[in-house]
Structure 1
Amino acid sequence: MADYDRREQLKKIHASRKSATYQKVDEAIQRLVRANVNINFNSVASEAGVAKATLYNNLELRDRIESLRQQQAKAPTSKQIKREMDDNNKDALIASLQRRIKKLDGENKELREQLKVAYAEVYKKI
Structure 2
Amino acid sequence: MSNFNRKEQLKKIHESRKANTALKVDGAIKRLIKANESINFNSVSKEAGIAKATLYNNEDFRSRIEKLRNQQSQVPTPKQVKQEMNESNKDALIASLKRKNQKLEQENKQLRKQLKVAYADVYKKL
Query: Following the alignment from structure 1 to structure 2, what is the Cα–Cα distance between the partners of residues 54 and 19?
Result: 13
* Alpha-carbon offset, residue 93 of structure 1: 5.2
1:70-114 Cα deviation digits (max 9, x unpaired): 010000012212334586553135547889xxxxxxxxxxxxxxx
Q: TM-score, normalising length from structure 2?
A: 0.69
Aligned to 2:22: 22
In angstroms, what is the RMSD of aligned CA positions? 2.3
Q: What amino acid maps onto 1:47 in structure 2?
A: E
Aligned to 1:75: 75
Q: TM-score, normalising length from structure 1?
A: 0.69
Give the aligned length: 99
Moved over 2 A (4+): 81-90, 92-99
Return closer, same or farther for 1:72/1:10 CA change in 2, 3 Å cut-off: same
Question: Structure 2 regions of 5+ residues with no counterpart?
Answer: 100-126
1:32 partnered with 2:32: yes
Query: Following the alignment from structure 1 to structure 2, what is the Cα–Cα distance between the partners of residues 19 and 98?
Result: 65
Query: Following the alignment from structure 2 to structure 1, what is the Cα–Cα distance between the partners of residues 23 and 62?
Result: 14
Question: Structure 1 regions of 5+ residues with no counterpart?
Answer: 100-126
Return closer, same or farther for 1:87/1:12 CA change in 2, 3 Å cut-off: closer
Query: Following the alignment from structure 2 to structure 1, what is the Cα–Cα distance between the partners of residues 15 and 98?
Result: 66
Return closer, same or farther for 1:60/1:94 CA change in 2, 3 Å cut-off: same
Identical-residue share of aligned pairs (%): 65
Q: What amino acid maps onto 2:73 in structure 1?
A: A
1:22-77 Cα deviation digits (max 9, x unpaired): 00011011111111111000000011000000000000000000000001000001
Q: What amino acid maps onto 1:25 in structure 2?
A: V
Q: Secondary structure at the residue paired with 2:19?
A: helix
Query: Following the alignment from structure 1 to structure 2, what is the Cα–Cα distance between the partners of residues 74 and 34?
Result: 18
Aligned to 2:59: 59
